Amino acid sequence: MAELVKEPGLLGAAIANIETITEEIEVSFLSETLGNENNLLNVLAIGFIRGRLKNRGWTWVENVLCFAKNNYWSEQQVINFFYALPFDKRTWDLLIPHRRELTNLYWQTIPAGWVKENEQEAAIIKLLEFNRPYAALNLVNLYQNDKTKFLPSNLLVDILEKTASVDPYKEKPQPDTSCISYRIEKIFDILERADDIEDNKLAFLEWIYLPLLVHSQRQPKLLYQELSKDPLFFVQILKFVYKSEDDRDELLEIDQANLNHAELGYKLLDTWHQLPGLKEDGTVDLEQLKNWVLRARAASQEIGRGKVADIKIGHLLAYAPKSLDGIWPDIAVREIIEEVASKQMERSIATGVFNKRGVWTKSIGEGGVQERELAETYRNYANAVRDTHPRTAAMLRSIADGYISDAHREDIWAELED
């Protein structure tokens, strides 16, 4: 009959409602169908078990397990019986008297669905024990208003660390992967609000998950803060990503770990726009910025990466705010440009300005109107600072010239469109 219906599980549940079925028929039915090679019969049995549990309660479950033990049910029969039971502590407690191999098999293979809030922690610990971090991740309650009811921070850290080491598509049984990135971001948010996790631990996790975080709403905040605070950390990342300019590292072996660090470091530097010394009012503290830039340049030159340091510092300074006088860049950045006097850095600032414009839209036939407006803006900035900051003024004029060149190209494209 199981092969004749679309939903053998529903058929099993319906059979469970027949009160006249004797205990002898019942256990005979389960013995024949549980763990059967014909999966339709197994599904039929699972539907029956769930229906019987609903009607007769946990005493019935205990009686069946007693029968199974006395009649030497196979491991496959017993484990399928447990699969039919709710994923909760009552089921897990019934596993305790059984052989360790059966308990291990259960936690290795049970599809981990919804679990009661007060049983989350126990379930997650067991799933992590059996190397199923994505199944554990999917159990975490992300929407708890009372932070005291969140899972312990160290357990959330364990989930993130172990999830990073396992391919979700190789975890068995296959977990739901549709919301992995979102759930990981939310756990970072929870940990950020926690008061029992050190910043260096969270920064380490941000480093592991950098490829995900740089494309998410939850940016790697602590890593960005550390870069802006510590110029030697910036230099260390440069060392991960770029070869020395004098080939002093030529004989060093490049292994997969080094390649991974290089890729992560590149993503970190490429997405970092938080100026050292940036204050809450949007202005820049000159002494903090100056100290950071000078230390970063000196340390970079010591390890043969002075040129690339100037390039990366220039890209960063392109994201400087306007000064209180309405002129871009902030006066602290102008002072740095004049003192450092690095053409490489100035060219890099200009490149950064063009790049940060991003994607823009135009109406048909518009031509280079937008670019001419930008050129005029930067020309006005240059005129405003030419007497006090001549190198900055020259850089601003080069930016204006670049936009004029872009305007000519846009004019040509507009004519071709006509």
Instruction: Supply the mean pLDDT for the chain.
Output: 90
Give buried/exposed letters for 60-85 (b at 16+ CB in 10 A, else e): bbeebbeebeeeebeeebbbbbbbbb
Q: Report, as an integer, the average pLDDT of 216-225.
A: 92
**273 falls within a domain:** no
Are both 100 and 125 inside the same structural domain? no
Are both 20 and 96 inside the same structural domain? yes
pLDDT of residue 363: 72
State the Cα–Cα distance between residues 224 and 312, nearest whole angstrom.
Answer: 14
User: Total structural domains in the chain?
Assistant: 3
Amino acid identity, position 192: E
Name, in order, each residue with C-beta under 8 angstroms of 408's C-beta and a sequence gap of 6 or more: 368
**308 falls within a domain:** no
Residue 196: CA count within 13 A, CB half-sphere: 10
Question: Using 50, 70 and 90 to split pLDDT, how confident is the model at 416?
Answer: confident
pLDDT of residue 252: 56
**274 falls within a domain:** no
Question: Using 50, 70 and 90 to split pLDDT, how confident is the model at 195?
Answer: confident
**250 falls within a domain:** no
Q: Report, as an integer, the average pLDDT of 315-344.
A: 97
Q: Report, as an integer, the average pLDDT of 66-82.
A: 92
Statement: residue 384 has pLDDT above 60: yes
- Point out the domain boundary residue: 109, 130, 161: 109
Tokens of 398: 């080069």
pLDDT of residue 253: 64
- Point out the domain boundary residue: 109, 135, 169: 109
- Point out the domain boundary residue: 213, 248, 278: 213
Are both 11 and 56 inside the same structural domain? yes
Tokens of 52: 């019987």
Q: Which of 2-11, 55-64, 280-289 has the lowest average pLDDT?
A: 2-11
Q: Report, as an integer, the average pLDDT of 62-77.
A: 92
State the Cα–Cα distance between residues 395 and 21, nearest whole angstrom.
Answer: 90
Q: Report, as an integer, the average pLDDT of 283-309.
A: 97
pLDDT of residue 117: 87
Tokens of 30: 């389960």
State the Cα–Cα distance between residues 288 and 176, nearest whole angstrom.
Answer: 47
Phi and psi, residue 284, nearest 5°? -115, 130
- pLDDT tens sequence across 141-174: 877 655 666 789 999 999 999 999 998 888 888 8
pLDDT of residue 248: 67
pLDDT of residue 150: 73
Tokens of 38: 């014909």
**241 falls within a domain:** no
pLDDT of residue 16: 84
Helical residues (DSSP H) of 147-285, grouped into ranges: 153-164, 180-193, 199-208, 210-213, 221-229, 231-241, 256-271
Statement: residue 365 has pLDDT above 80: no
The whole-model pTM stands at 0.80
159 in Cβ contact with 137 (< 8 Å): yes
Question: Using 50, 70 and 90 to split pLDDT, how confident is the model at 56?
Answer: very high
Are both 97 and 124 inside the same structural domain? no
Statement: residue 3 has pLDDT above 80: no
Are both 151 and 101 inside the same structural domain? no
**285 falls within a domain:** no
Amino acid identity, position 209: Y
Closest C-alpha among 2, 6, 67, 5 to residue 37: 2
pLDDT of residue 38: 86
Statement: residue 407 has pLDDT above 80: yes
Domain of 390, in residue numbers? 364-418
Percent of the chain with pLDDT over 70: 94
Q: Report, as an integer, the average pLDDT of 55-74.
A: 93
359 in Cβ contact with 365 (< 8 Å): no
State the Cα–Cα distance between residues 323 and 330, nearest whole angstrom.
Answer: 4
Question: Using 50, 70 and 90 to split pLDDT, how confident is the model at 360?
Answer: confident
- Give whole-number Cα distances, 276 to 264, 296, 356, 369, in Å: 21, 11, 19, 35
Are both 65 and 123 inside the same structural domain? no
Statement: residue 232 has pLDDT above 60: yes
pLDDT of residue 261: 83
Are both 154 and 197 inside the same structural domain? yes
Burial of 209 (0-12, 13-18, 19+ CB in 10 A): buried
Question: Using 50, 70 and 90 to split pLDDT, how confident is the model at 12?
Answer: confident
Question: Using 50, 70 and 90 to split pLDDT, how confident is the model at 135?
Answer: very high
Statement: residue 329 has pLDDT above 80: yes
**244 falls within a domain:** no
Tokens of 333: 């950045």
Are both 70 and 92 inside the same structural domain? yes
In the three-class reduction of DSSP (H, G, I as helix; E, B as strand; rest coil), residue 325 is classed as coil
Q: Which of 29-43, 54-68, 197-211, 265-279 has the lowest average pLDDT?
A: 29-43
Are both 104 and 168 inside the same structural domain? no
Instruction: Tally Cβ neighbours within 10 Å of residue 19.
Output: 7
Are both 51 and 141 inside the same structural domain? no
Are both 103 and 150 inside the same structural domain? no
pLDDT of residue 146: 59
Percent of the chain with pLDDT over 90: 66
Q: Report, as an integer, the average pLDDT of 184-190.
A: 93
Statement: residue 217 has pLDDT above 90: no
**175 falls within a domain:** yes
Burial of 151 (0-12, 13-18, 19+ CB in 10 A): buried
Are both 103 and 8 inside the same structural domain? yes
State the Cα–Cα distance between residues 374 and 376, nearest whole angstrom.
Answer: 5
DSSP states along 266-291 = HHHHHH----TTB-TTS-B-HHHHHH
Would you put residue 326 in left (φ > 0), alpha (ψ -120 to 50) or beta? left
pLDDT of residue 386: 97
